[in-house]
Chain A
Amino acid sequence: MTVFLIIIVVALFAITIWQLSRIFQLSRNTNSIDSSEIASDKDNRTQGNLMLAFGIAFYLFMLYNFWNFSDRALPAASSEHGADYDNLLLITMAVIMFVQVITQGLLHYFAFKYKGKKGQKALFFADNDKLEFVWTIIPVIVLAGLIIYGLFTWSDIMDVDEEDDPIVIELYAKQFSWQARYAGQDNVLGKANVRFIEGANTMGVDESDPYAMDDVITAEIHLPVNRPVLFKMRSQDVLHSAYFPHFRAQMNVVPGMITQFSFTPTVTTDEINETEYMRDKVAYINEIRREKSAELAALGEEPLSDYDQFEYYLLCNKICGVAHYNMQMKVVVETEEEFNTWMAEQKKYSETMEAATAGRQVEKNSGSELAQVEN
């Protein structure tokens, strides 16, 4: 209601102003013609100079951004194909910034240099085939190079080679959490469909499929370093996107079909925490958090926890609902031995289901006992 009132008040206010200005306008003669609203030589000079100033300021602003913010960009890739990715990105960025610096420079310099003066004659220069050929062919060549490099890298990344013996892991997405299902000893995932979801079987795994029995369902991902991993992705409700920024990996998770992405992690969690980049970053974030905590403490609120160490993560990167911003899963990259130790601690799917059935049994029994007592 208040919104409507405000809208009405604003509208009435606007009408008042309009009427006032009409009266104002009627009370004076606006019919005299002058050219004062057309740029004069003085305007041309001022605005031309400002164009040059802006061009320089824009250069400085770009430098400032690179200087201050480029350390926030992701660290060097922690996956095998990521090195190619970073290389291609670097080349592309260099080309882009080169063109950007040249063209913006020319544009703003010309705007300054050729600012209008009375009596100055512009050059009647309507076309020039040679020039146009030059600036058609140069982008063609540069882009051809980028396309070819890009396409080779793309097919390398997307081509999943089953002979590398990748660990097969299913990523299961739902509003608003991730689960992982390791294919287990046989490295084959059991069949699954949302229609099998019931009770403890939250991922809809087919209980009659023998391949499913040794599958391992976990709430975080552990990966052995330098071993290819193949993610098979499934969603139970809406579109999600599995985004591993540090591994330069992303694939949408689509209900009704299985999508996949494969990569080889090359840097363990411990190793990346040793890098200068990550040490600086964690220290800086802690600094920010402590400042913020001090502010919170002054207001009598709970302080923020420290950022102990960096962990890789998997994010959801396709709008999926209200808590989209907090749909994440921890990823740990570790040595083969550490991975095996961790794996040995996990429960197999068959064990989980047995425990659940037993649990249900117990519940039922205790329930009936209670009922008897009441009787």
Chain B
Amino acid sequence: MSAVGQVPVNEHAHDDHHHEGNFFTKYIFSMDHKVIAKQYLFTALFMGIIGIAMSIFFRMQLAWPAESFKIFEIFLGKWAPDGVMSQEIYLALVTIHGTIMVFFVLTQGLSGTFSNLLIPLQIGARDMASGFMNMLSYWLFFLSCIIMLSSLFIESGPASAGWTIYPPLSALPQAIGGSGLGMTLWLISMAIFIASSLLGSLNYIVTVINLRTKGMSMTRLPLTIWALFVTAIIGVVSFPVLLSAALMLIMDRSFGTSFFLSDIYIGGEVLHYQGGSPILFEHLFWFLGHPEVYIVILPAMGIASEILATNSRKPIFGYRAMIASILGIAFLSTIVWGHHMFVSGMNPFLGSVFTFTTLLIAIPSAVKAFNWITTIWKGNLQMNPSMLFSIGFVSTFITGGLTGIVLGDSTLDINVHDTYFVVAHFHLVMGISALYGMFAGIYHWFPKMFGRMMNKNLGYIHFWITIIGAYGVFFPMHFVGMAGLPRRYYDNTAFPYFDDLLEVNVLITVFAIVTALVQLVFLYNFIHSIVAGKKATANPWNSNSLEWTTPVEPIHGNWPGEIPHVYRWAYDYSKTNENGEYVIAGQDFAPQNVPLQKGEEELNH
């Protein structure tokens, strides 16, 4: 059925002549999904460097409060007089770190990069449904990055009301300097980002539905595609709501409406706003904000599932349960947003409802975790760097996910809400886990993207120091939260009670600096391997999915001849006949484009 929609996107692309565009159409304004994927990846990595550097800056302030650092003077300029970080820039750094990491790194670094790279390659399509929309999506993303970064250089400072930009703080320049031009730029940047994300997501959805090759039924799709497909759907459902919130906030700020503001006295005068509600904004924001964390984590889950199966030389355990739990998580993710608002002043009855739905979402998450562990059980584990990061992903996802049970319970949330406990929880479960998913994906598909291999030993160093460092940062942070220390405090020494937490903060910061520095090893490996890595073979990991049937040197249209047909699911690893021999003699994997062998039974997956 899926073959019906299979029209070659570029009729002549798979002919012998390879049409050469000029430099601009080939590398800059390219409509080729593989080039766009790389553009997303490079942009996201660049933004990631900035986001992580920011976090190191404010971690230094927390560990050594009000101390002077040369590095602050260099990078923060007037915001760090004599090298001492100012209160304004502390909040700005926290805000922009959050914004950049959540939207620009984890959303587009994962979904943007891997949807573009993998959807056509793994479903057997020559390109995305609309190459032009795809290009547009990237360039809008690029524009939103530029606007966000430009806000760092303006006189009144970048947005500094927290990445959740709750009004009235974000609406009133009198309340905080960053809510002037900085906030305007933030909102414009996000509005463009949302447009970009929607164009991308619609394209992904249409491509997965329409352009699957012959034989590629939905139940034969690799889990990466399922995850990316469902991620795109969540994006289409929830991002428009953030757009409406942003537009209303722009109206409140610039045109005097009162959607979110009421009864405000500031700077010695009563403002005219009447009848608005900040809680309305919270509802709208989290209607996106919560699905957003699943937009970030689902692609990582898909990537980890694929890599764990490939490197365990085993089928993913419970393929159908994995799909069901992706769908379950996606559905539930849109009805749990209220758990960010238990103590916001909304009706406590709503709190009960959201507690219920929130704890429900733990069930599909638990199923996934158990399935991953069972996947590596009795495997023949190939410890490539991508495999290590996938195992690390499962580990941090469990550690971070479990504390969600505390936060999702309205009662327990009362006292840990907005403390460092929350910071520790979401950094482990969506920050670090998603980053591991991204690293796993980069190590695994690097040969596909660049035709070369990354250095494995540098990969091992990168992994081990990162996992030790990341746990070193975020595990002790739970205890800081349990001590009742609120987040977004510039300084914890303003009163003596928290003095005994300073040493914990120093420990955390030291781990953070080490972890950030080891990312340079990754960057070096990444850049060096692009230009001078060892040449890759067509299928270095002995993987089953279709992308490994394309030539090493990427071409426009992906396959030089006809698009391969698919005869089996993506997880026939170590499948044996009744006599105990592999179905394909001497080979422990059976790629999707290999027809069923004589006497082989297709399992009903």
Contacts and interface: CB of A to CB of B under 8 A. Distances in A.
B521 interface: no
Interface string A2-36: 11001000000000001001101100001111111
Interface string A222-239: 000000000000001111
B65 to A, nearest CB: 10
Nearest to B367: A136
B329 to A, nearest CB: 14
Contact of B479 (A38, A72, A106, A325): A72
B277 A150 contact: no
A313 interface: yes
Contacts of B409: 88, 92, 146-147, 150
Contacts of B442: none
Interface in B363-418: 363, 366-367, 369-371, 373-374, 376-384, 387-388, 391, 394-395, 398-399, 402-403, 405-406, 409-412, 414-415, 417-418
Residue of B343, B381, B398 contacting most chain A CB atoms (<10 Å): B381
Given A88-B411, A117-B380, A319-B161, A99 B402 contact: yes
A315 interface: yes
Size bin of chain A's contact surface = 35 or more
Contact of B402 (A100, A108, A259, A319): A100
Given A125-B314, A154-B355, A69 B504 contact: yes
Given A35-B540, A37-B453, A127-B318, A237 B264 contact: yes
B8 interface: no
A107 B373 contact: yes
Interface in A154-177: 154-155, 157-159, 174-175
A44 interface: yes
Interface string B410-439: 111011011100000000000000000000
B585 interface: no
B576 interface: yes
A48 B381 contact: yes
A242 B366 CA distance: 34
B574 A124 contact: yes
Contacts of B369: 103
Given A127-B320, A256-B276, A150 B410 contact: yes
Contact of A123 (B314, B316, B398): B314
Interface stretch (B213-221, B227-235, B293-301, B488-496): B488-496
Most buried by B among A122, A147, A310, A328: A122
A213 interface: no
Contacts of B417: 241, 250, 317
B67 to A, nearest CB: 12
Contacts of B381: 44, 48, 111, 114-116
Band of interface residues on B: 35 or more
A257 B345 contact: yes
Contact of A143 (B162, B262, B351, B362): B362
A238 B169 CA distance: 5
B363 A143 contact: yes
A118 B556 CA distance: 37
Contacts of A110: 373, 376-377, 379
A37 B383 contact: no
Contacts of B87: 322-323, 325
Interface string B17-50: 0000000000000000000000000000000000
A317 B487 CA distance: 7
B344 interface: yes
A95 to B, nearest CB: 7
B501 interface: yes
B359 interface: yes
B598 interface: no
B277 A325 contact: no
B35 to A, nearest CB: 18
A194 interface: yes
A218 interface: no
A174 B270 CA distance: 13
Contacts of B383: 39, 43-44, 46-48, 51, 115-116
B13 interface: no
Contacts of A259: 345
A118 to B, nearest CB: 9
A39 B334 CA distance: 41
Interface string B129-142: 00000000000000
Interface string A252-264: 1011110100000
A108 B270 CA distance: 60
Interface string B449-482: 0000111100010001001100110011011101
A320 B172 CA distance: 11
Interface string B63-85: 00000000000110100000000
A319 B574 contact: no
A146 B531 contact: no
B367 A69 contact: no
B378 A123 contact: yes
Contacts of B382: 38-39, 44, 116
B263 A193 contact: yes
Nearest to A123: B378
B363 A140 contact: yes
A107 B394 contact: yes
Contact of A154 (B319, B366, B410): B410
Interface in B314-331: 314-321
Interface string A297-336: 0000000100100100101111111111110100000000
Given A21-B531, A135-B366, A255-B261, A155 B77 contact: no
A323 B399 CA distance: 33
A65 interface: yes
B534 A72 contact: no
B486 A317 contact: yes
Interface string B521-537: 00000011001111101
18 contacts: A51-B391, A57-B468, A110-B379, A121-B380, A122-B312, A122-B313, A124-B575, A126-B318, A127-B320, A132-B370, A139-B363, A154-B411, A197-B270, A243-B484, A285-B499, A313-B495, A325-B492, A326-B495
Given A124-B574, A154-B410, A289-B496, 13 more contacts: A25-B532, A61-B475, A72-B501, A96-B405, A100-B399, A103-B398, A126-B317, A126-B571, A128-B318, A132-B370, A136-B366, A256-B278, A326-B494
Top 9 nearest A-B pairs (CB, nearest first) are A256-B262, A245-B484, A47-B383, A158-B348, A37-B453, A69-B479, A259-B345, A325-B489, A194-B265
Interface of B: 74-75, 77, 87-88, 91, 153, 161-162, 166, 168-169, 172, 175-176, 261-266, 270, 275-279, 312-321, 343-345, 348, 351-352, 355-356, 359-360, 362-363, 366-367, 369-371, 373-374, 376-384, 387-388, 391, 394-395, 398-399, 402-403, 405-406, 409-412, 414-415, 417-419, 453-456, 460, 464, 467-468, 471-472, 475-476, 478-480, 482-484, 486, 488-492, 494-497, 499-502, 504, 527-528, 531-535, 537, 540-541, 571, 573-576, 588, 603, 605
